[in-house]
Amino acid sequence: MILAWLIIILMIGGLLAWLVGKWSSYACRWISLITLIIDFIIIISIWISYSANISISRAPVWLIELNTEWIPQFGINFHLALDGLSLILVALTIFLGIISVITSWKEITERIGFFHFNILWILAGISGVFLALDLFLFYFFWEVMLIPMYFLIGIWGHENRIYAAFKFFLFTQASGLLMFLAILVLYFIHGKATGIYTFDYMQLLGTILSPTVSFILMCGFLIAFLVKLPAVPFHAWLPDAHTEAPTAGSVILAGLLLKTGAYGLLRFVIPLFPSSAAAISPYAMFFGAIGILYGAKLAFAQTDFKRLVAYTSVSHMGFILIGAFAFNVLAFQGVVMQILAHGITTGALFVLAGTMQERLHIRDINKMGGLWQLVPRMAGVGLLFSLASLGLPGLGNFIAEFLILAGSYQANAGLTIFAAFGLIASTIYALRIMQKVFYGKREKEWKISDFGIREMIMMGAMIIVIAWLGIYPQTFLTTTKYSIENIIQNFKSQTSNTEVLDMNKKDQLQNGNAYNKSIMNNLNSGLSTHAKNRICIMETKRDPD
């Protein structure tokens, strides 16, 4: 039941913040923050309590599981489960949720209660996505996180917020409907084959599908996750949404919503459709490599600070796509580390961009410059996270990208070498941020305040996490090790079973052909013998002797 409470607490906290916000904007902020702190204490307590089970090979697949009937007539259960992978993703969700509330403390001045309601309900939806093991429930939470983000961009965004909100909604809603259709078809195919109509993930695993049907259903899931990731060419919604969203919205978008796409690839696409996933892996890795370089090129070309950071996400998500389709433990561990490191690094850069916009009322980096002396604490934090973004050793992004490239090299050496050039490109755009914003000639005599205590506490926490990821990643690698190994093991067993079935079909076809050939030979032989006998009889009748 503790898993359900993780979500319920967020939903109740959101409703309370909305109601209280009508009377006190100050109180609703604290309700939102306290709600998230309670959830964070719960998830860290679970992590500590189950750390012994996580670190042993005979640990159960699910550390905690809740499975109860919801709509039994249609085979829908309220099925939540937590393993090492979902554990760290829920922890990341709550952590970045706290950062989002703190960074919006003074930025949001209108409809504050409704703002915090949307923040907490987005986080509840994201947590549900990471925990749900019933596909109908999974899709329910997928939609729960969509609607509040639409309001977040459309109400509290910047100049072109309505356009950005509609674009975000159309891309994600259309792709989500494709996934829902795929879920329904999988539901009916499994029910017709087994007599059991269920949306339960564990029962749907291993459903026997023809190659064509498997590929079509996989595309329904895959497109939804690639749009949310986003991968080139499904990325067009991202820059506008990031640029127009309030700072908290940008942090949640980059740090969390994008990661639901990466999680979907690992949890659903690869286990449910292993053969189809293996078939498209070279193409997926190719588009991942293209995305790394294409995103880096566009990031370098931007003058809008937030838009620049948005395109860095397109580049970094290319690494996730490459790693996810390499199908080995090393690459999958790199994907998980990239999810964590990118969430922290890009979240911090969006906080920095939002802070600069709040103080200077501009986002154009060409109009900044020479700010180091005025805001040394802000500049120092910006330098650290810019270096993290380019993959400096000792910080989390370096570990993530190293593991992904090392793992993907085993699967496709050529594309891995091509993708590695993205490391050079990331160095160029990361250093350009520092040069344009904090170094160079000062374009104007700005009156700007440096980071205060609230902002330094927030940034200090993020610095600790990104350094922890880079210096001692074993904490996170150990936590997710057996979840990843289970995914790889199931993938290999399913693909090997498919190969055996294909070989059996070929043998049956060959045996059938041989059998048919034997029948035809015997038939021909029989016909020949019969013809010879008829000839002899006819000759005997003609001979009077």
| 3-state secondary structure string across 421-486 | HHHHHHHHHHHHHHHHHCCCCCCCCCCCCCCCHHHHHHHHHHHHHHHHHHHCCHHHHHHHHHHHHH
Residue 545, in any domain of the structure: no
Main-chain phi, psi angles of 206, to 5 degrees = 80, 10
Give the tens place of pLDDT for each residue, 220-258: 999 999 999 999 889 999 999 999 999 999 999 999 999
* Tokens encoding 426: 């990331």
Report the alpha-carbon distance of residue 425 to residue 407 in Å, rounded. 21
Q: Is the predicted pLDDT of residue 318 greater than 70, yes or no?
A: yes
For the chain, the C-alpha Rg in angstroms (whole number) is 29
Does residue 2 fall inside a structural domain?
A: yes
Lowest mean pLDDT among 52-66, 361-375, 441-455: 52-66
Range of the domain at 368: 1-482
Whole-angstrom distance, CA of residue 169 vs CA of residue 175: 10
How many C-beta atoms surround the C-beta of residue 460 within 10 A?
Answer: 12
Say which DSSP state 268 is in: I
Distance CA 500, CA 275 (A): 12
CA 520/CA 524 separation, integer angstroms: 6
Q: Which two tokens stand for residue 219?
A: 């595309």
Total domains present in the chain:
1
Bridge partners, residue 364, by sequence: 304
Calpha distance 179→169 (Å, rounded): 15
Average pLDDT over residues 471-492: 92
Taking all residues of the chain, what is their mean pLDDT, rounded to a whole number?
88
Residue 498 placed within a domain = no
Q: Which residues in 497-508 are b (16+ Cβ under 10 Å) and which e?
A: ebeeeeeeeeee
Confidence of residue 61 (pLDDT cuts 50, 70, 90): confident
Look up residue 77 and give its two tokens: 């259960």
Distances in Å between the alpha carbon of 374 and those of 354, 365, 444, 492?
17, 16, 12, 57
The residue among 93, 85, 80, 79 whose CA lies nearest residue 42 is 93
Give every CB contact of residue 450 below 8 A, 6+ residues apart in sequence. 374, 375, 376, 377, 378
Q: Mind listing the pLDDT tens digit for each residue in 271-287?
A: 999 999 999 999 999 99
- Tell me the torsion sign for CA atoms 430, 228, 249, 444: positive
Using alpha carbons, list the distances in angstroms from residue 233 to 119, 295, 334, 447. 29, 11, 23, 41
The C-alpha atoms of residue 481 and residue 312 are separated, in whole angstroms, by 28
Domain-embedded: residue 111: yes
- Residue 304 sits at φ, ψ, to 5 deg, of -80, 120
Residue entry with tokens 């650290």: 384
Q: 55 pLDDT band (50/70/90 cuts)?
A: low
Which class for 222: exposed (0-12), middle (13-18), buried (19 or more C-beta within 10 A)? Answer: buried
**Residues listed for the chain:** 545
In which residue are the tokens 């089970």 written? 53
Does 514 reside within a domain? Answer: no
Tens of pLDDT, residue by residue over 358-407, are: 888 889 998 888 889 899 999 999 999 999 999 999 999 999 999 999 99
pLDDT reading at 544 higher than 90: no
Residue 516 clears pLDDT 80, i.e. is over it: no
- pLDDT at position 73: 92
Q: How far apart are CA 241 and CA 227, in angstroms?
A: 13
- Residue 325, CB half-sphere, CA atoms under 13 Å: how many? 27
* DSSP helix, strand, coil percent of the chain (3-state; round to 5): 80, 5, 20
Q: Pseudo-torsion of CA 397, 401, 404, 408, nearest 10°?
A: 170
Q: How confident is the model at residue 59 (pLDDT cuts 50, 70, 90)?
A: low
Look at residue 524 and tell me if it is in a domain: no
Q: Given CA atoms 31, 83, 80, 336 in this order, what sign does their dihedral have?
A: positive
User: How far apart are the C-alpha atoms of 329 and 327, rounded to whole Å?
Assistant: 7
> What is the pTM assigned to this prediction?
0.89
